[in-house]
């Protein structure tokens, strides 16, 4: 599944910065719903709109309630910025009422990061990103988000890698001036969708985060993309650990739920848990099987991979 298509399918408040190691407690959950819900997963997996549409219903709010009853405690929604304001508020209110967390949404108003952008150093792209950051702050207030995804854009072959890196760092520092006071964490995502993307590896992203030097600039370690680009997942998690703020999941090949490809997610999840991670792991993948049974099979796959204790 290409990320652009994934985003099309998916349709910052906090007084302090929330990082991957921050604990979470349930609030205001109706006793009847809590007592009837399946056991909460050991790690905090976040599903996206459409993943449980056959069992939960077409409305995302109904899917959230269905997923809560199945043990999930977070969502993520790449396209949150494109949703109507009232819908953003409704989703946020629903999460608060269930004691659930909001995972990432993507900072973008019109997919600007899919063309050559921050790598160029051009002021027009910096201005556009800063404008989107300001808008994202308001969106995050409505849906109680703490993490937002940023992709710097494509590689510019007319400029050296070193200058492109410096341009990206400069732009991200400016973004942090907006996000950090709002208590938001920008997570940079290295991707494998096409070879033209500038940000592709965990060590590259680690270097940029160290240079930006802000608690609002961390790594989104998408394990599907990193398996494709570099492999050696557990060792690379260890090396980048200090700068990882968020994880995403997807087995390879196929970008479906754990157990459908070559990755041993039970061991990976155990490793992440043992390192003390208390953040969200986004389920940014498709369902291997269609319909209601496919959705229940996905839940069983997560139960199996989560049974590492």
Percent of the chain surpassing pLDDT 90: 84
Residue 118: the pLDDT is 93
The number of CA neighbours under 13 Å toward the Cβ of 237 is 24
Token pair of 201, please? 């590896």
Distance (Å, whole) CA 16 – CA 51: 31
User: Residue 32 has what pLDDT?
Assistant: 57
Per-residue pLDDT reduced to its tens digit, 70-91: 999 999 999 999 999 999 999 9
Please tell me the predicted confidence (pLDDT) of residue 202. 98
pLDDT at residue 37, as a whole number: 73
pLDDT for res 108: 78
Alpha-helical regions (H) of 233-290: 233-240, 265-274
For residue 107, give the nearest of 131, 124, 74 by alpha carbon.
131
Identify the bridge partners of residue 281 per DSSP, sorted by sequence position.
45, 247
Half-sphere exposure of 49 (CA within 13 A, CB side): 20
Please say if the pLDDT value at position 173 is more than 90. yes
119: number of Cβ within 10 Å:
25
Q: Comparing 69-78, 123-132, 247-256, which segment has the lowest mean pLDDT?
A: 123-132
CA distance linking residue 71 with residue 298, whole number of Å: 13
Domain ranges of the chain: 3-305
Rounded to whole angstroms, the Cα distance separating 298 from 256 reads: 9
CA pair distance 215, 243, nearest whole angstrom: 9
Find, among 233, 235, 232, the residue nearest to 248 by Cα.
233
What region does 84 belong to: left with phi over 0, alpha with psi -120 to 50, or beta?
beta
CB neighbour list of residue 129: distance below 8 Å, 6 or more residues apart: 107, 112, 117, 118, 150, 171, 174, 175
**How many angstroms separate the CA atoms of 152 and 197, rounded?**
8
Rounded Cα gap, residues 64 and 56, in angstroms = 8
Instruction: Assign a CATH topology to domain 3-305.
Output: TIM Barrel (3.20.20)
Give the model confidence (pLDDT) of 174-194 as tens digits: 999 999 999 999 999 999 998
The reported pTM is 0.89
CA 154, 287, 22, 307 dihedral sign is negative
């Amino acid at each position: 599944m290409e990320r652009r298509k994934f985003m099309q399918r998916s349709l910052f408040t906090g007084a302090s910065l929330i990082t991957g190691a921050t604990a979470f407690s349930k609030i205001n959950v109706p006793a009847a719903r809590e007592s009837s819900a399946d056991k909460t997963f050991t790690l905090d997996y976040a599903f996206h709109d459409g993943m449980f549409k056959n069992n939960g219903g077409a409305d995302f709010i109904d899917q959230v309630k269905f997923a809560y009853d199945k043990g999930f405690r977070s969502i993520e929604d790449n396209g949150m910025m494109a949703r109507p304001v009232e819908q953003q508020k409704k989703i946020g209110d629903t999460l608060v009422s269930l004691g659930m967390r909001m995972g990432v949404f993507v900072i973008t108003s019109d997919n600007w990061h899919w063309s050559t952008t921050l790598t160029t150093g051009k002021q027009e792209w910096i201005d556009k990103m800063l404008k989107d950051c300001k808008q994202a702050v308001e969106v995050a207030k409505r849906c109680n988000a703490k993490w937002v995804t940023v992709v710097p854009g494509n590689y510019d072959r007319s400029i050296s890698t070193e200058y492109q890196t410096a341009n990206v760092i400069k732009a991200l520092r400016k973004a942090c001036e907006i996000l950090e006071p709002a208590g938001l964490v920008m997570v940079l995502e290295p991707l494998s969708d096409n070879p033209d993307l500038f940000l592709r590896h965990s060590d590259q992203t680690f270097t940029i985060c160290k240079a930006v030097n802000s608690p609002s600039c961390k790594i989104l370690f998408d394990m599907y993309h990193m398996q494709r680009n570099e492999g050696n997942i557990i060792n690379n998690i260890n090396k980048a650990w200090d700068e990882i703020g968020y994880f995403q999941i997807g087995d390879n090949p196929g970008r479906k739920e754990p157990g459908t490809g070559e990755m041993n997610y039970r061991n990976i999840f155990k490793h992440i848990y043992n390192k003390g991670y208390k953040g969200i792991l986004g389920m940014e993948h498709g369902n291997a099987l269609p319909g209601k049974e496919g959705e229940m099979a996905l839940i069983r796959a997560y139960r199996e991979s989560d049974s590492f204790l």
